[in-house]
C-alpha cells in the first residue's frame, strides 16, 4: 500500500509524524478547495493509513524512553556537531583569554570572581586547605544547590540562543574567562596538580555539559539566522526542537557532576589515582556519548560515513 511504502522511507517516529502532518495539511487544503476530487480521497486514505501505522507501531513507554536516549539524542548531537564544535572553540579560546589575562594582571581574578571569594580562598591556602571551598555546606545541600545552579546556568546559555547564537556565545565567553582565571589563580600559587584534580573531578562532566548546552543554544540561534530553504520561523522551530533534545542530555551530567562535587570533591586528601580514575571515566563517557555514538547512529541511518 502507498502509506506503507511511504512509512518505510522514515526511520524515526519524528520523521513519520512529520510526514503525517504534511499529508493532513495537504488533505485539509484539498477538502476545502476540491472536496470531490479523486486526489482528496487519495490523501484521505493516505492519512488514515499513516495514522494507523503510527499507532500500530507505537512503542511501550520504556522502549520509547530508551530509544530517546540511545538514538534520538545522539542523532540530534550529530546534526548539531558544527554548533557543538563552535561552542567548544569559544569556550577553550576564552579559557585561554582568562589565563593570559590573569598572568598579565594578578588582580584580574578579583574582577571576575569577586574580592570575597578571592580573600576566602587566600585564607584557605594559608590554612593549608586550598580547596576548602568545596566542603562548606552539608553534602546533601551542597549537591542540591550545585545541581540546581548548574542546570539554571545551562538553561540560560541555551535560552540566549533565542536572541540569535550571539547571546549564547556571550555567556560561553563569560564562563570560559572565569574558568581560565580560576585555574590560573591556583597555578600561580603552586597548586596546579591539587587544583586540577579537585576541579576536574566534577568539572569534566560539568564543563562538558556547559559546552554542550552552548552548542544547543547555538543550534537554535543558527536556525533563526540561517533559515536556508525554510521560512525563518519554520527553520527556527526545527532547530529549537533539536537544541532542546541536546540540552536535555546535559541534565544527567549536571546531576552526576553535582553529586561528585557535593559528596566527593570536598575530600581533597583522597588518593590522586582515585580522582584521576574518576576524571578519565568521565572523559571516556563524554567522548563515547557525544562523539562516537552519534557517528554510529548516523551511519546506521544509512547516511554512510
Measured between alpha carbons, how far is 136 from 124 in angstroms, rounded to an integer? 11
- Residue 302 burial by Cβ neighbours in a 10 Å radius (0-12, 13-18, 19+): exposed
3-state secondary structure of 12: coil
Do residues 233 and 180 share a domain? yes
Residue 94 pLDDT > 70: yes
Q: Range of 252's domain?
A: 72-303
Do residues 162 and 221 share a domain? yes
Residue 110 pLDDT > 80: yes
Do residues 184 and 52 share a domain? no
Q: What is the pLDDT of residue 303?
A: 52
Do residues 104 and 38 share a domain? no
Residue 185 pLDDT > 60: yes
Residue 65 within a domain: no
Of 58-62, 124-128, 277-281, 293-297, minimum mean pLDDT range = 58-62
| Concatenated DSSP letters of 104-171 | H-TTHHHHHH-HHHHHHHHHHHHTT-TTGGGGSS-HHHHHHHHHHHHHHHHHHHHHGGGG-HHHHHHH
Digit-coded pLDDT (tens) for 219-265:
998 988 888 888 888 888 999 999 999 999 999 999 998 888 777 76
C-alpha cell read off for 111: 574582577
Long-range contacts of 117-126 (CB under 8 A, 24+ apart): 118/185, 121/185, 125/189, 125/191
pLDDT band (50, 70, 90) for residue 159: confident
Residue 45 pLDDT > 90: no
Q: Work out the average pLDDT over 67-73.
A: 92
Q: What is the mean pLDDT of the chain?
A: 82
Measured between alpha carbons, how far is 51 from 20 in angstroms, rounded to an integer? 7
Do residues 215 and 252 share a domain? yes
48 CB-near residues (< 8 Å, 6+ apart): 3
Residue 66 within a domain: no
DSSP state of 135: G
Count up the domains in the chain and report the number: 2
Other beta carbons within 10 Å of 297: 19
Do residues 112 and 46 share a domain? no
Element (H, E) at 55: helix 38-56
pTM of structure: 0.75
Do residues 211 and 275 share a domain? yes
Do residues 53 and 76 share a domain? no
3-state secondary structure of 163: helix
Residue 120 within a domain: yes
Do residues 48 and 77 share a domain? no
Digit-coded pLDDT (tens) for 7-37:
445 545 666 666 767 777 777 777 777 777 7
Amino acid at each position: 500500500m502507498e502509506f506503507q511504502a511511504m512509512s518505510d522511507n522514515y526511520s524515526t517516529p519524528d520523521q513519520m509524524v512529520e510526514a503525517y502532518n504534511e499529508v493532513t495539511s495537504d488533505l485539509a487544503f484539498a477538502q476545502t478547495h476540491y472536496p470531490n476530487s479523486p486526489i482528496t480521497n487519495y490523501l484521505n486514505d493516505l492519512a488514515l493509513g499513516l495514522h494507523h501505522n503510527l499507532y500500530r507501531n507505537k512503542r511501550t513507554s520504556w522502549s520509547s524512553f530508551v530509544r530517546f536516549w540511545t538514538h534520538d539524542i545522539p542523532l540530534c548531537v550529530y546534526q548539531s556537531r558544527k554548533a557543538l564544535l563552535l561552542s567548544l572553540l569559544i569556550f577553550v579560546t576564552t579559557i585561554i583569554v582568562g589565563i593570559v589575562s590573569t598572568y598579565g594582571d594578578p588582580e584580574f581574578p578579583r574582577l571576575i570572581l569577586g574580592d570575597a571569594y578571592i580573600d576566602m580562598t587566600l585564607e584557605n591556602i594559608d590554612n593549608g586547605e586550598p580547596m576548602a571551598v568545596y566542603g562548606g555546606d552539608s553534602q546533601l545541600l551542597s549537591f542540591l544547590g550545585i545541581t540546581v545552579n548548574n542546570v539554571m546556568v545551562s538553561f540560560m546559555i541555551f535560552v540566549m540562543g533565542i536572541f540569535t547564537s550571539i547571546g549564547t556565545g556571550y555567556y560561553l565567553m563569560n564562563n570560559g574567562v572565569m574558568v581560565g582565571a580560576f585555574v590560573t589563580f591556583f597555578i600561580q600559587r603552586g597548586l596546579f596538580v591539587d587544583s586540577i584534580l579537585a576541579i576536574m573531578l566534577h568539572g569534566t562532566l560539568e564543563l562538558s555539559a556547559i559546552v554542550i548546552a552552548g552548542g544547543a543554544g547555538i543550534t537554535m540561534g543558527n536556525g533563526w539566522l540561517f533559515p536556508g530553504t525554510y521560512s525563518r520561523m519554520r527553520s527556527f522551530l526545527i532547530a529549537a526542537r533539536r537544541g532542546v533534545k541536546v540540552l536535555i542530555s546535559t541534565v544527567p551530567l549536571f546531576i552526576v557532576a553535582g553529586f561528585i562535587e557535593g559528596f566527593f570533591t570536598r575530600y581533597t586528601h583522597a588518593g590522586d589515582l582515585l580522582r584521576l580514575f574518576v576524571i578519565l571515566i568521565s572523559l571516556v563517557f563524554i567522548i563515547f556519548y557525544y562523539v562516537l555514538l552519534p557517528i554510529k547512529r548516523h551511519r546506521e541511518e544509512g547516511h554512510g560515513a
